[in-house]
Homo-oligomer: A and B are copies of this chain.
């Protein structure tokens, strides 16, 4: 890292990073503006109308939200090392939008916990749950975020094409591209009103939709950076291997069934296999786009659309 002041190059308005940056500014949204009252009403109605509703059932709902909330906090912090090493002005511009968006995602989950979860618990006379209780974070979760953090902070000591590629693999391809996108897809589907056995939570779904759209753009940026690194000589196998090493941890998180009923028949929502299939499909497609020099990456309008609609 040079610590000497040299005026930066002019921006390249046609570069992908610059266009992604502009797209983020134009699609700005405020997590404080999402209506959450219906979620409180629907949850109360659902809980009061349910048979045998117990603490385990409530924990099942909280589990996913707690994991996302703490995850977004972590990534807000973990992206900063990359911002200190990137020297291209357009990459820097984009990265500031990503940092800011991760902060807004953390804000959304924090707000959801305070305004929905605690309000429901207050209404029912239950104790307020702690979104940072250890029980939400199983070993694969801690291990994945630990490895992500190390891969990001390693850039400060050793900034090479390979350490950058690994940083993008951990953060953009795996944490965002596989874990978060899979989780969001699962949550959106579960609480989107499709399943009679689950409450309909329109505020949660609206937040997820906005967040997934932002993250579609982030994943696209990471893919484009990896494609450039491969063109500069990074072995595609490094990318494949890094992601493959992390996949069992992702699976250990999305299939954390400590809060599920023991009997399979009582489980509701998506089957485990459906999520895994969704994740593998997405990832295979992305790897092809990154490694095939002839393949084009989707344009930004498609990235933000794709990830929220399919």
A contact set with B: CB distance below 8 Å: 1, 3-5, 7-11, 13, 21-22, 25-26, 28, 30-32, 70, 73-74, 76-77, 80-81, 83-84, 87, 89, 92-93, 96-97, 99-100, 102-104, 106-107, 110, 114, 131-132, 137, 142, 145-146, 148-150, 153, 156
Closest B residue to A137 by CB, please name it. Answer: B7
Complexed CA–CA distance, A132 and B97 (Å): 24
Complexed CA–CA distance, A156 and B104 (Å): 26
A149 CB contacts on chain B under 8 angstroms: 3-5
Q: Assuming A3-B149, A92-B77, is B100 touching A131 (CB within 8 A)?
A: no
Complexed CA–CA distance, A28 and B28 (Å): 8
A87 CB contacts on chain B under 8 angstroms: 77
Closest B residue to A146 by CB, please name it. Answer: B5
Protomer copies: 2
User: Are A8 and B73 in touch, CB under 8 angstroms?
Assistant: yes
Closest B residue to A89 by CB, please name it. Answer: B73
Closest CB-CB distance, A1 to chain B, in whole Å?
6
User: Are A76 and B96 in touch, CB under 8 angstroms?
Assistant: yes
A74 CB contacts on chain B under 8 angstroms: 5, 7-8
User: Are A25 and B32 in touch, CB under 8 angstroms?
Assistant: yes
A10 CB contacts on chain B under 8 angstroms: 110, 131-132
Complexed CA–CA distance, A32 and B8 (Å): 21
User: Are B70 and A99 in touch, CB under 8 angstroms?
Assistant: no
A13 CB contacts on chain B under 8 angstroms: 110, 114
Closest CB-CB distance, A142 to chain B, in whole Å?
6
Residue contacts A-B, CB under 8 angstroms, 19 given: A3-B149, A5-B142, A7-B74, A8-B73, A10-B110, A22-B32, A25-B31, A26-B30, A26-B32, A76-B89, A76-B92, A77-B83, A77-B87, A80-B83, A80-B84, A92-B103, A93-B106, A97-B100, A156-B156
Closest CB-CB distance, A119 to chain B, in whole Å?
15
Closest CB-CB distance, A200 to chain B, in whole Å?
27
Closest B residue to A106 by CB, please name it. Answer: B93
Closest B residue to A81 by CB, please name it. Answer: B84
Complexed CA–CA distance, A110 and B103 (Å): 26
A148 CB contacts on chain B under 8 angstroms: 5
User: Are A70 and B7 in touch, CB under 8 angstroms?
Assistant: yes
